[in-house]
Structure 1
Amino acid sequence: MPATAYSHILLQFLDEASFLWERYNAALTAPHYNPVKLAELKERLEAQLDGLRSCEDDGWEALAKRICDKPVTGEIFTASVLAIDSADTNRIDTILNAIIKPDHALELASALSWFPFNKTRSLCDTFLESSSLLLQFAGLSAYAAFREPSPKHLYATLDSKDLLLRSCALKMIGELNLTDKLSIVKAHFSDENPLCAFRAAWSAALMGDKSALQVLLHFTDTKFNFADEAAMVAIRKAGLNNGPALVHELTKNPYKIRFAIIGAGALGDISNIPWLIDMMKQKPHSRIAGEAFSTITGLDIVNLHMDTDAPEDFEETPNDDPADKCVDLDADYFLPWPDLNKIKAWWNEHAVEFTPNTRYLCGKLICKADLTHLVNNGYQRQRYAAAIELMEFQAGEPLVETRLRTEN
Structure 2
Amino acid sequence: MASGSAQLIASPQRIAVEVVRQHVEQAAFLWAQRDTWSLEDPPDEAVIAEIGQRLEINLDGLRIAGSAAWPFVDRQLADFPDKGEFFVAGWMAIEQEDAKRVDSTIEAARQAGERRGLVGAFSWHKPQKIGKLVRDWLGAHDALLRYLGVAACVAHGVDPKRLLERLVRDPDSDTRALSLRLAGKLKRTDLAQEMEAAMQAEDDAVRLWAGWALTELGSGDLARAALRKAATAGTPGALAALRAAVKAGPEKEVRVWLGGLMKSQATAPLAVRGIGMLGDRSVLGWLVQQMSQPTLAIAAVAAFLELFPEARGETKLFSSDPADAGTAFVEHFGDDLVTLAIAEKVEIWWRDQNLMQA
TM class, shorter-length: 0.7 to 0.9
Q: TM-score, structure 2 length as denominator?
A: 0.83
Q: How far did 1:310 drift?
A: 3.1
Distance 1:72 1:241 in 2: 45
Contact 1:235 1:247 in 2 (8 A): no
Contact 2:42 2:302 in 1 (8 A): no
The alpha-carbon distance between structure 1 residues 153 and 109, as it changes in their structure 2 partners (threshold 3 A), is farther
Structure 1 residue 30 and structure 2 residue 40: aligned? yes
Q: Secondary structure at 1:100's aligned position in 2?
A: helix
RMSD value over aligned CA atoms? 2.9
Contact 1:239 1:267 in 2 (8 A): no
Name the aligned partner's letter for residue 253 of structure 1: S
Structure 1 residue 337 and structure 2 residue 340: aligned? yes
Q: How far did 1:218 drift?
A: 0.2
Q: How far did 1:53 drift?
A: 3.2
Structure with greater Cα Rg: 2
The match for 1:91 is 101
CA deviation map 1:59-84 (0-9, x unaligned): 12332355467623222211121111
CA deviation map 1:91-134 (0-9, x unaligned): 33332432315854332222222122112111111222333211
Distance 2:334 2:193 in 1: 42
The alpha-carbon distance between structure 1 residues 345 and 89, as it changes in their structure 2 partners (threshold 3 A), is closer
The one of the two structures with greater contact order (alpha-carbon pairs below 8 A, sep at least 6) is 1
Name the aligned partner's letter for residue 269 of structure 1: D
The match for 1:311 is 322
Structure 1 residue 277 and structure 2 residue 294: aligned? no
The match for 1:253 is 264
Contact 1:18 1:74 in 2 (8 A): yes
The alpha-carbon distance between structure 1 residues 301 and 215, as it changes in their structure 2 partners (threshold 3 A), is same
More helix by share: 2
The match for 1:359 is none
Q: TM-score, structure 1 length as denominator?
A: 0.73
Which sections of structure 1, spanning at least 5 residues, go unmatched?
Answer: 320-329, 355-408
Q: Secondary structure at 2:231's aligned position in 1?
A: coil
The alpha-carbon distance between structure 1 residues 353 and 193, as it changes in their structure 2 partners (threshold 3 A), is farther
The match for 1:268 is 279
The match for 2:303 is 292
The alpha-carbon distance between structure 1 residues 46 and 298, as it changes in their structure 2 partners (threshold 3 A), is closer
Distance 1:203 1:96 in 2: 29
The match for 1:161 is 171
The alpha-carbon distance between structure 1 residues 97 and 291, as it changes in their structure 2 partners (threshold 3 A), is closer
For 1:174-213, list aligned pairs within 5 A: 174-209=184-219, 210-213=221-224
The alpha-carbon distance between structure 1 residues 64 and 152, as it changes in their structure 2 partners (threshold 3 A), is farther
Which sections of structure 2, spanning at least 5 residues, go unmatched?
Answer: 1-12, 324-329
Q: How far did 1:263 drift?
A: 1.4
Contact 2:192 2:214 in 1 (8 A): yes
The match for 1:128 is 138
The alpha-carbon distance between structure 1 residues 239 and 352, as it changes in their structure 2 partners (threshold 3 A), is farther
Contact 2:83 2:115 in 1 (8 A): no
CA deviation map 1:150-187 (0-9, x unaligned): 13432212222212111111111111111221221122
The match for 1:394 is none
Distance 1:241 1:101 in 2: 49
